Every structure is written in C-alpha cells, then in structure tokens.
Amino acid sequence: MIRTAGIISKPIRERICDVVPPLLQWLSARQIDVLFDEETRGCLGFGPEGMSRAALGAKIDLAIVLGGDGTLLSAARAIAVHDVPILPVNLGALGFLTSVTLDELYPLLEEILSGKCHTSVRMMLDAEVRSNGTSSGRKCALNDAVANKGALARMLDFDVYVNQDHIGRYRADGLIVATPTGSTAYSLAAGGPIVDPELDAFVVTPICPHMLTNRPIVIPGSARIDLDFAAAEEPVYVTLDGQTGFQLKAKDRVTITKSAKRVTLVRPNKAYFEILRSKLRWGER
C-alpha cells in the first residue's frame, strides 16, 4: 500500500520543472503524499520542505528516482537501510539500472498501485576499513568497491584473501570487487564478465594486472574478501560506486562482505537481457 512517495531527482532544474509537477498531480489525485530530498526541493522551488535522503527513506513507501545510473546509485546507498522499493526513471540516456523511460513511468505507477509490478532485488556490499585491527568505518555500495593507485603512481602490489585463503599477490593498477549489479559497470570496462543480477556472487576483477594470468574471479556472495596493501609502496585509494572515496593509511586493510542492506528495484516488464542488449547494442550488426 503506497501512502507516501519520495521523489529524488538529479538536480537539473529544467527537467525537474518539466517532469515533477504533472507527477505530483498524478500522485495527489490518487491520495498519495509526496516528499522530496533537499536538493530536489531546492531545484523545484515549491512543495513541502525537503529533507535529508536518510530521513526521507524512513517516511516513504516508494522512492521515485529521476536521473541516470549515478543518481540511482547515490539514492540507493542513502535509503537502502529502509528497504523501500525504488522506481528508477531515466531522464536522459538509457542506463543499466535506470531503464524505465518517462513514457513508461505512469503505466508502471499504475502497476505498482495495483500491486502487480515486477521487482528485482539487488544485493549490496559493505566495505570496512581496518587500521591495526580496529574498524575505522564501513560503507556500502550497490555497484562496487574499488581500490586503486594514484594517477602518478606506477602500480600497486597487494594481497587478496577469500575466506582467509590467499588468492594471490597482485601487481596491478587496482582491484574491483563488484556485485552482480556492478558487473556491467566499471568491472566490465576492466574485462570482467557480466553476472546475472539474481546470482548471489561477487566479481573480483583486477585493473590492468601486470601478471597476465590474473583473471577475473566470480566467488560466492557469502564470501569475505580481504585486501591487504601492506606490500604497496604507493598510496591506495578506495571508492564506493565511483562516488565516495578516501585514501587508506599505511597498513589499513579493507574487508568486503555482502551487506545486510539490499535494494528493491521496480522494473518494467522487460527481461534483464533486453536491457543488456540495448545498452551493449547486441541486437545490431
């Protein structure tokens, strides 16, 4: 039962002013209250006061996210703890995650209200940094956790462990640990496989490995992955979903596990592979 919907949009004023008012009207005609995050409210210029995304997530039964994959990723991380279904609508180019077009928005909302919509539940990952054994923070990601070298550095030496077993010493620009959702993002660019979003698994993809036999590995979602940079002679940077990042301190270790949080995406009645085909142009010659 959808009583309150939250709207989170990429802050493009013209697009918001174009898309949001009719959406408000449509929802209001169906007795659905609408809330905004601060940025969207700021761009729109009217309506109920905006609130932080974290607060927003606690008060809504459906999040309508307008934008591209980047907008969805940051919205998902912010509200995932509340397990609110997300309807991701692309405002521009087709995304892997935001495959719903504006034309499909209202038909899909109808389906959602009638309880008939399709959803896809996506696992997230947690990356925890430990300094001398003490956790110095944990962050979650829908796509990937990436460790890499600085722009002017040459390469990193690091060790990877899966469930305490030593996978190997890598010499590479860095390493990507991706969820199935993230397998079509940066990991794909680095040579990783596409992983069906239903699979409970991680992809561990080295970035430009100097040892040519270091190939992407797919491991169970139940695994614990430890990255040890003690052998690295250069600063190491970690990013989540390519959006939030930080520099490790010497001797820091990064532990990656499946998150307790997850994301429920409302999706049009298109097969996953249909989106893949469109995005990667598999249908064409």
Residues taking part in catalysis: 69
Q: What is the CA radius of gyration of the chain?
A: 20
Q: How far apart are CA 84 and CA 124, in angstroms?
A: 14
Q: Which of 211, 230, 250, 260 touches its own copies (CB under 8 A)?
A: 211
245 in contact with its own copies (CB under 8 A): yes
Q: Give me 184's structure tokens.
A: 């079509």
273 in contact with its own copies (CB under 8 A): yes
Q: Nearest 10 degrees: CA dihedral of 150, 155, 158, 163? A: 80
SS3 144: strand
Q: Which of 14, 49, 103, 284 touches its own copies (CB under 8 A)?
A: 284
Q: Which of 3, 118, 215, 251 touches its own copies (CB under 8 A)?
A: 215
Q: How many CB atoms lie within 10 A of CB 192?
A: 25
225 in contact with its own copies (CB under 8 A): no
Between 179 and 198, how does the x/- string for binding to its own copies read (CB under 8 A)?
----x--x-xxxxxxxxx-x
Q: Give me 47's structure tokens.
A: 């309506």
CA angle at 127 for the pair 177 and 55, rounded to the nearest 5° = 120
141 in contact with its own copies (CB under 8 A): no
Q: How far apart are CA 70 and CA 127, in angstroms?
A: 19
When the beta carbons of 245 and 268 are compared against its own copies, the nearer one is: 245
Tracing tokens 């991680």 back to the chain, one arrives at 202
Q: Which of 141, 216, 257, 259 touches its own copies (CB under 8 A)?
A: 216
Residues in the site for its own copies, rule: CB under 8 A? 93, 148-152, 154-155, 162, 165-169, 171-173, 183, 186, 188-196, 198-199, 201, 203, 207-220, 223, 235, 237, 239, 242-243, 245, 247, 271-274, 276-277, 280-285
